Amino acid sequence: MTKRFALGIFEDEDVLLHAVENVREAGVKIYEVFTPFPIHGIDDALGIERSRLPIAAFFFGLTGLSFALWMQIYMLGFDWPMIIGGKPHIALPAFIPVSFELTVLFCCHGMVITFYAISKLYPRWRTPVLDVRSTDDKFVMAIEVNENTDMNKLTQILRENGASEVNQKEMSKF
Partner 1 sequence: MQHVSPVREPLVTGGKTYHDVTQDVCRQVEAAPNIRWMAALSVALLLLGVFFYSVYRTLWYGIGEWGLNKTIGWAWDITNFVWWVGIGHAGTLISAVLLLFRQKWRTSINRAAEAMTIFAVICAAMFPVLHMGRPWLAYWVFPLQNTFGSLWVNFNSPLLWDVFAISTYFTVSLVFWYTGLVPDFATIRDRAKGPIAKVAYSLLSMGWKGSAKHWSRYETVSLILAGVSTPLVLSVHTIVSMDFATSVVPGWHTTIFPPYFVAGAIFSGFAMVLTLMLITRVVFKLEDYITIEHIALMNKIMMVTGSIVGVAYITEFFIAWYSQVEYESYAFINRATGPYWWAYAAMMTCNVITPQLVWFRKVRYSIPLTFILSIIVNIGMWFERFVIIVTSLHRDYLPSSWAMFSPTIIDVGIYVGTIGLFFTLFLLFAKFFPVINMAEVKSVLKYTVDNGPTYTGRDPHHAPQPVTTHGVPASAPVNYDKHD
Residues 149-168 within binding reach of partner 1 (CB under 8 A): 162, 164
Per CB under 8 A, the list member of 101, 150, 153, 156 interacting with partner 1 is 101
Judge residue 95's burial from the number of C-beta atoms within 10 Å of its C-beta, 0-12 exposed, 13-18 middle, 19 or more buried: middle
Question: Does 55 help bind partner 1 (rule: CB under 8 A)?
Answer: no
60, 24, 57, 63: which is closest to 42 by C-alpha? 24
Closer residue to partner 1 in complex, CB, 121/147: 121
Closer residue to partner 1 in complex, CB, 86/148: 86
Per CB under 8 A, the list member of 104, 150, 151, 159 interacting with partner 1 is 104
The 15-44 contact track toward partner 1, x by CB under 8 A, reads x-xx-------------xxxxxxxxxxxx-
| Residue 133 to residue 36: CA distance in whole angstroms | 8
Q: Candidates 1-9, 21-29, 90-98, 146-154 — which segment interacts with partner 1 by CB under 8 A? A: 90-98
Whether residue 10 contacts residue 163, with contact meaning beta carbons closer than 8 Å, is answered with yes
Task: Kindly state the number of chain residues that form the binding site for partner 1, as judged by CB under 8 A.
Answer: 73
Q: 82-91 burial, b if ≥16 CB within 10 A, otherwise e?
A: eeeeeeeeee
**Residues within window 112-151 making contact with partner 1, judged by CB under 8 A:** 112, 115-116, 118-127, 129-130, 132-137
For the chain, percent helix, then strand, then coil, each to nearest 5?
Answer: 50, 15, 35
